[in-house]
Structure formats: C-alpha cells, structure tokens
Chain A
Amino acid sequence: MVGTLILAERFWSMAGPRSIGVTFPTESPASAYASLLEFHEVLLDIARDVTHPPGVGDPDAKQIIPVTRFTTSDEVELIANSMAQKFQTEQVGPSFLLQPCHVVFSELADNVLHHSETKRGLVAASSGTYLRRDGTVQRIVEIAIGDAGIGIARAIMKNPHHQPSDDVAAIVLALKEGVSGVEDRYRGFGLWYLTQEVVRRARARVFALRSGRAYVRLRGDGTVKSKAYAQFPGTLAHVIIPYDAPSQQP
C-alpha cells in the first residue's frame, strides 16, 4: 500500500489533481487489509474515485500504524509514541517487539527526512498471520516505509567516497556500517544497526528495499537476494518480523 501510494502520488504530480481512480476487488482480503490500515482515507487526498468493498480479511490482523504521511521530526515522534502506546495497551504484538519495531520505523523515517530530498514519507504497520506452506499459521509484524525522493544511490553518492556501480550495489553498500551521504565518521549507523541488531537477530526476519531499479531482500539468516526491475520513483522499505507466540522469543 505504501508503494502504491508512492506510485499514485507520482502519477498525481504528473497528471494533475483528481485524475486517479482506484478500485479494489470485491470481497477481497486486500480490501479488508486496506480498510484496516485506513488506506482509503489517504488515497482520497489524491484520487477522485475510490471504491472499497469491505472484503474478508485476516481476523487476527491489527492496525499498529495506519497509512500515515509524515513531513517533520515532530510527526515522526508522534507516530513512534502512538506505536509504543499500541504495543503497551492494545496488544498488537508481544511487548518485546516494540524496541525492534521502533528501530525500524525511526531509522527509516530518519532517512526519509534527512536523505530523500522529498517533503514527506509514508508509513504503515500491522500485525497479523499468514498460512505457511505446511499449513501452520505464522504470526508476523510488518512495517513499510517509503518516499518519492531521490533514491538510495543518489543519496549516498552525495558523499564522494561512495560511488556504487548500480542501484543494487548502492543498497548493499548502504547497509554497511559507516556508509552515509553525509561525511561524518559517526554517521551511517542507523541502517547498519537495523540490519545487524534487528533483522539478523532471528533467521526468519526479512528486510526488503526497493529503490531505483533495484530490489534487495536480506533475511535474518544472512542470505541476500537481489533483482533488477523497472524504475521505482523513490525508496520503499519493508520489514517482516515473524514471532511464534507472545510468551516465546521470535
């Protein structure tokens, strides 16, 4: 949904206001999930016509952060505190997942505000379940953050020490310690910390990044997969944190 909004906003900026219509499949789980995250409310800012049949979705799905735009650090703080409150009072997931989810949101939002050269970012987060191939149910928390900015490659190439050969190389480079678009030996810490101290802490966790022509997916077990696609107008990050049960470690 965050990626769709980024694309829709790019179309909106090219084609003019109120030129976009959005229709969801009838009775679709996607429509239910969109309703859960209040996707339609945000779409109405840029789309002239949005139909959203109710759909039937995951009964265990819970909203952690509805689809939300942010433009300032104060708004990021508000969203972070709202997320913390939901973990503490609404049981959207086990409390030990608050700190990793906070790191994911904060560090990716920080990158939007300070490196993307765009005015705003988008975020959404939820908890829910999915059916594994073996028929068992897996609980997950997932967070997506994106922006329609300059992308990771151009952001880190503002630092002359970093000149990646392509978008995939740029993403892989950006995940390393000390790599930043800012020439400061203490910067380039957030994405590295997110990768090492959140994603790599459990083998089934997933961190996917889409920027420029690249899609890179890092799993908690250390495997990295990448593909080249059509140009994406900005950056989209998606983190999935599976967990077994409230009383067990992920």
Chain B
Amino acid sequence: MATLEMARFGNALATRERAREVNGFLAPSRSTPDILILDFTGVSAISPSFADELLNVLADRTVELLVAGAEDAVFSVLSTVARRRQRDIRPLNSDSHSASYEQTAQAD
C-alpha cells in the first residue's frame, strides 16, 4: 500500500499533461504497490480531463485505487470519470493508515 499526495501537483488540477506527470512520478519505483491511495488533501478542484487522464495512466498499473482527503466536489468528478472508464475507485476508510509513496519507494 502506498499513498500519493496529489497536492504536490497543484491546488487546482486542470490538464491531461499534469495528470501524466503522476505517471512519471510513479515510474521510478521498482514495483507497483497493490493498493494506491490518491490523497487529495489540499486539492480544491480537479477537472474531468485531469481525472480521466489520471485513471488512464494508472490503467496499466493493476492497483486498487482508494481516494483519501477529497472534497465532495472533487470525489464527484473522480467517481463520474471512474464509472465511465469502468474503473472501481473507493473512498478510503478514514481510520486506515499507509506509508507515503516516498516512504514506500525508499523501502523498495
């Protein structure tokens, strides 16, 4: 299990290009975690295009996606896009814990 803090990519996430940066950030890791938590704490808005491209670039990684810290409006965009892409995406139970992606990558 690993966590990716989405706020590192911006407070308002707009473009497909920005979503592809997520893939570039994950690529250096030697192994893909079985569960990836997308932590949207600190992200106030996302666009459908960003969300669509995010799920697109994560499609090749057979990970279970959980969403943490997302405001209702942000989660609404994510879930709409996920339904369209037939991808399961669930909110993280608030009492779950995980290492940050950086910590996991270092552990690898």
Contacts and interface: CB of A to CB of B under 8 A. Distances in A.
B48 A107 contact: yes
A106 B45 CA distance: 10
Interface stretch (B10-18, B29-37, B61-69, B96-104): B10-18
A84 interface: yes
B59 to A, nearest CB: 10
Contacts of A105: 14
Nearest to B44: A84
**For the side of the interface on B, what is the size category?**
20 to 34
B73 A193 contact: no
Interface stretch (A8-16, A72-80, A209-217): A72-80
B48 A109 contact: no
A89 B80 CA distance: 29
B10 A186 contact: no
Given A80-B14, A81-B12, A98 B48 contact: no
B93 to A, nearest CB: 24
B14 A102 contact: yes
A106 B49 contact: yes
Interface string B61-86: 00000000001011011001100110
Considering residues A81, A84, A99, which has the most beta carbons from chain B within 10 angstroms of its beta carbon? A99
Interface string B13-31: 1111110000000000000
Nearest to A187: B52
B48 A80 contact: no
B47 A73 contact: no
Interface in A64-94: 73-74, 76-77, 80-81, 83-85, 87-88
B45 A99 contact: yes
A88 B48 CA distance: 21
Contacts of A109: 14-15
A77 B15 contact: yes
Interface residues of A, number: 29
Contact of A84 (B11, B15, B52, B56): B11
A186 B12 contact: no
A103 B56 CA distance: 19
A42 B18 CA distance: 27
A197 interface: yes
A98 B45 contact: yes
Contact of A106 (B47, B76, B81): B47
Given A99-B74, A186-B85, A77 B47 contact: no
Contact of A110 (B49, B71, B74): B49
Interface in A140-197: 186, 189-190, 193-194, 197
Contacts of B84: 186, 189
B40 interface: no
Nearest to A192: B48
A102 B52 contact: no
Nearest to B56: A186
B47 A103 contact: yes
Given A103-B45, A189-B49, 5 more contacts: A73-B18, A80-B47, A99-B71, A114-B16, A189-B52
Interface of B: 10-18, 44-50, 52, 56, 71, 73-74, 76-77, 80-81, 84-85
6 contacts: A98-B12, A99-B45, A107-B48, A110-B47, A113-B15, A114-B16
